[in-house]
Structure 1
């Protein structure tokens, strides 16, 4: 959408059933595939499809597109490689990779990305440490929340629709549901809060990445969970606007401690106090005013933090004000300039 506003024609090819156009972006279904192996087998068809678009710049995401990036550069095309995770560590929690192969896979992918950064016209990363890992040949583009335009009006309308008359507190978690992201711990926290006599329920919003939801149904706190599945961006924002505390209690595995979580920024944008893992990178960037930091390995600490927030409406209001003030400065409307400057530099070549 940021590129569209500069007058560019933007085509997004991705996994979807039917194409559509939104906010000036033309979304096009990519070649279908079955399973993860099928994603690599379809790369030839992907290459044919994207070359047919005759783009001035090809913006590719994730290691699966590295072979496509190399072929495009061989044809003399302008290519941007965009990696939104640190795969030198993130593959350590991929359950579909056999455990003995995870560390070699991390090393192999990170070295391949490093070499590709020497071939393509620009590389975008979301974590500060990745800039060093790419030998300085990468641009930091942070996960800032996008809040402006008609989307805000849609969120306000949905928020009114989702508001509820209730006598209980509402906790919320938005993101992929998996054990690697601490979903078990967040249910433990919910159980602990209820055991302390506070009537609370939890909205879970996000995809069931590991098929973990069926197992979670046996958790003692599941009766107080409302699992809403995967929701659109505006709907997720609307639920945030109607919650009391947002949770992001991720374990210290893979690159979690260095990956700035967009959900925290989105919580703050909607005035939602948070309880989140006390990782130095997160805390040093966000500060102490918009929520509570806890040791993700100590459920009792998180339970106490949630209970204190729920019992103190004035503190929740203070967190909300601090969060929205932070987002006034850190938002996509400001951060998009990094993306636009990258495109200007690539097109000037």
Structure 2
């Protein structure tokens, strides 16, 4: 069946995300594609995005992969035949079998590789079973051979040599216009620390909470505002136990998943953004997206002292890199920012200028559009 030879003037693109995924799917990729393509999105986890340029259809979210496959695949199939897209853009490995099915209808398949699973699979609860590991390895071989791939970091290419299809790297830089109206006004009488993203031990939250305990002795009303999600229920319980045992309920506030604009409004008194990563999996070679987002909003940044992170921070002169397992180093840098408000403000402004000049979505958008065009021409 070759349904793509129709009289339509704009190609159709279907994005599918059955679980957690990078905000790039809506905020960046979809927005960039909408000028040229008719874009449809099937998503299970809403991120409070406001993207009117795409037709969005909700899916139910299930933590278990087998449930996502069993209950969401029939819905996905329905919309696939209803929309009849030229390109299907997948955002999770579990969708590889569906991509293979789509290829029977002469559909081009893209897989977005957000994580280097070859380095991180051991940390994924849903992949701990031997069956899931074997399935990932099998799906990975299929994707390498038959799909077009988009990678989130250049370093991922070391794990993906000799690819059969075209591929590209899209760095998850911020869209400048998304942050242009956001402005933090630090209130040092009630100092607020800002964090957005996944909450886990790998993101150094044991270090962060220990630092808050130390800082509380000097600033009893210090605030830590957290936006995002816990990587697993086990760490969520450990986190809550730590808060209770150390009497931090008045200092640490968890707001869940929210759009960045809303997080900034809630945390408008913030004076620093945290983007710490431990030396785990592919983190040593990956940029924390939140680092660039903090920079885009003129917040000073404290991040990991990995070489690639330091190269950005030192070039932009917008913050500090520390050992993410050293709570005393974190406390020292936070105190420095509190005691040097003018210098901290200059750091934030320098970071924003650096994003506007170097680390923004414009260059990545061009790569995305060129990649799509090359796929349609393939």
Is TM > 0.5 for Structure 1 vs Structure 2?
Answer: yes
1:225 aligned to 2:252? yes
Question: Structure 1 pair 253/21, CA: closer, same or farther in 2 (3 Å)?
Answer: closer
Given the alignment, which residue of 96, 118, 125 partners 1:66?
96
Rounded Cα–Cα distance in structure 2 between residues aligned with 1:166 and 1:308: 12
Separation (CA, whole Å) in 1 of partners of 2:114 and 2:255: 26
Give distance in 2, aligned partners of 1:241 and 1:132.
40
TM-score w.r.t. length of structure 2: 0.80
- Return 191-200 or 178-187, whichever deviates more: 191-200
What is the Cα deviation at residue 248 of structure 1? 1.6
- Residue ranges of structure 2 left out of the alignment (5+ in a row): 1-30
Partner of 1:279: 306
Q: Check if 1:313 corresponds to 2:335.
A: no
Aligned length in residues: 336
1:93 aligned residue: 123
Cα deviation for residue 34 of structure 1 reads: 6.8
Check conservation: 1:271, 1:321, Cα contact below 8 A. yes
Distance 1:152 1:249, change over 3 A: closer
Counterpart of 1:140 in structure 2 is: 169
Alignment partner for residue 66 of structure 2, among 37, 59, 62?
A: 37
CA-CA distance at 1:286 after TM superposition? 4.2
Deviations 1:96-155 (A, max 9, x none): 444x859x92x86356324412202x210011121232216431100111232xx457x5
Once residues 187 and 140 of structure 1 are traced to their aligned partners in structure 2, the CA distance between those partners, rounded to angstroms, is: 35
Q: 1:91: how far off?
A: 2.2
| Mapped contact 2:65–2:126 kept (Cα < 8 A) | no
Give the TM-score normalised by structure 1.
0.86
> How far apart are 1:26 and its partner, in Å?
0.8
Report the CA distance between 1:293 and its aligned residue: 0.5
Paired with 2:61 and 2:211, the residues of 1 have a C-alpha distance of: 40
1:4 aligned residue: 34
Distance in 2 (CA, whole Å) between partners of 1:227 and 1:34 is 21
Q: 2:213 aligns with which of 171, 180, 191?
A: 191
Alignment of 1:1-349 (within 5 A): 1-6=31-36, 8-15=37-44, 22-30=51-59, 35-42=64-71, 44-45=73-74, 46-98=76-128, 101=130, 105=133, 109=136, 112-120=139-147, 122-135=148-161, 137=163, 138-148=167-177, 151-152=178-179, 155-156=181-182, 167-197=189-219, 200-211=222-233, 212=236, 213-220=239-246, 221-239=248-266, 242-287=269-314, 289-328=317-356, 329-349=358-378
Q: Is the contact between residue 216 and residue 222 of structure 1 (CA under 8 Å) also seen in structure 2?
A: no
Structure 1 residues 319, 115: CA separation in 2 closer, same or farther (over 3 Å shift)?
same
CA distance in 2, matches of 1:222, 1:177: 17
What is the alpha-carbon distance in structure 1 between the residues aligned to residue 320 and residue 62 of structure 2? 43
* Displacement of 1:306: 1.2
Cα shift readout 1:310-333 (whole Å, capped 9, x = no counterpart)? 211122122112211210121112
TM-superposed CA distance for 1:69, in Å, is: 1.4
Q: For the structure 1 residues 237 and 111, does the alpha-carbon distance in structure 2 shift closer, same or farther, using more than 3 Å as the test?
A: farther
Q: Could you give the per-residue CA deviations for residues 239-297 of structure 1, whole angstroms, max 9, x where no partner exists?
A: 56541011122221122222211100000000000111111222234435111000012
Q: Aligned partners of 1:253 and 1:219: how far apart in 2?
A: 27
**Alpha-carbon distance in 1 for matches of 2:126, 2:227:** 23
